[in-house]
Amino acid sequence: MTTTHDMIARQQPLATSFGYRTTAAEVIAGHDLAGKRAIVTGGYSGLGLETVKALADAGMTVVVPARRTDAAASALTGVAGVEIEAMDLSDLDSVAAFTATMRDAAKPIDFVIDVAGVMATPQGRTVQGWDTQFGTNHLGHFALVGGVAPLLAEGSRVVSYSSTGHYRSPVLFDDINFESTPYDPWVAYGQAKTANALFAVGLDARAASRGIHAFSVHPGGIMTGLQRHMPKEELIKRQWIDADGNANPLFKTPAEGAATGLWAATAPELLSRGGVYCEDSSIKGVVPADHADMTTGGVKEWAIDVDFADRLWDLSVAATGLDPFSG
């Protein structure tokens, strides 16, 4: 059994030839993925779109589940080997319908890259009654991976998009839906991003014996549609944009932001590091619980804690009715 001590050891810093400005194309160069198959959520905008383009250029067939299939078709025009299927990540019934379609097709899947998500939304609930950010960012992806688990080929990888936003909060197991504490959109986002990291820990612990590994990634600061719930005044205050709407030049481009997820999906040096949290196509180690500087990199222990991962797994099984790799 994997322990938190094991996870801390795996999280020891790992330098690579890549870095902050590495692009998706640079990470994927030299990887022949012809004949392989991937699912990429959020695959028709921002980081997801760049991920799909890079995988398609490497010869993969990429399935893009989309809430707005018409918008996906428009964004992916001219990208070879893409299949678009309807799915709403915030509705577990919709996710179940999508995964049933995948199982009916019975085609092996080599990568699942969970890019899609929402950030700092107003307080709300998913169709099944979960906090919008937790339900969409975590439970939707748990149900997706759980539903296609029988199709995951030996050697396949699942990449869960987390964020340094996980610094803002562990999973609030006693009040996930903010029923007894005031709702804070950034605490809710932090909880969801911690859950994304813990999902990789829990999944890898259960799937590694079958040659399947999972990793979480922080893509970096990038201006995408993820900021759509934030007023311009807040974006300026945080120095994410200037008064004219220009993005902070320190931010990554979408092509740069997509690099770490693709590195996690393909890097051979990660085979012995299942479940780790990656950034800048590398690993930067564990930071203290009171560490507040998000620019330094690193992961908080609450996001790789095995006991928390197991508790989250049990909650997710109860919420979705799925328990992948339990047999």
Burial of 73 (0-12, 13-18, 19+ CB in 10 A): middle
Q: Which two tokens stand for residue 219?
A: 């893509």
Q: Which two tokens stand for residue 104?
A: 């009916």
- For the chain, 327 residues long, the average pLDDT of each consecutive 10-residue run is 95 96 96 96 96 97 98 97 98 98 98 96 97 98 98 97 96 98 96 98 97 96 63 67 67 93 98 97 96 92 98 98 92
Do 160 and 112 meet the contact criterion of CB atoms below 8 Å apart? no
Amino acid symbol at 62: V
Cα 59 off chain centre by: 22
Query: Helix, strand, or coil here: 192?
Result: helix
List phi, psi (to 5°) of 246: -80, 135
Alpha helices in the chain (DSSP H): 4-10, 24-28, 46-57, 69-75, 92-105, 132-134, 140-148, 185-207, 232-237, 254-257, 259-266, 306-320
Burial of 4 (0-12, 13-18, 19+ CB in 10 A): middle
82 forms beta bridges with: 62
User: Vertex 279, ends 188 and 148: CA angle to 5°?
Assistant: 70
What pLDDT is stored for residue 41 in this prediction? 98
What pLDDT is stored for residue 228 in this prediction? 64
Q: pLDDT tens digits for 17-56?
A: 999 999 999 999 999 999 999 999 999 999 999 999 999 9
What pLDDT is stored for residue 264 in this prediction? 98
- Reported CATH class of domain 4-320: alpha beta
What pLDDT is stored for residue 1 in this prediction? 83
What pLDDT is stored for residue 295 in this prediction? 85
Q: Which residue has the tokens 């992806």?
A: 141
Nearest residue to 159 (alpha-carbon basis) of 229, 9, 253, 259? 259
174, 225, 301 from 181: Cα distances, Å: 10, 28, 24
Burial of 174 (0-12, 13-18, 19+ CB in 10 A): exposed
Per-position b or e across 102-113, b if 16+ CB within 10 A of its CB: beeeeeebbbbb
What letter would DSSP give residue 294?
T
Q: pLDDT tens digits for 272-303?
A: 999 999 999 999 999 999 999 888 999 999 99
189 among known catalytic residues: yes
Is pTM beyond 0.85? Reply is yes
Contacts with 300 (C-beta within 8 Å, 6 or more apart), sequence order: 166, 167, 170, 194, 286, 287, 288, 289, 291
- Greatest Cα pair distance, the chain, in angstroms, is 55
| CA–CA distance, 136 with 34 (Å, rounded to integer) | 31
Catalytic residue, candidates 44, 161, 167, 189: 189
Q: Which two tokens stand for residue 296?
A: 């330094």
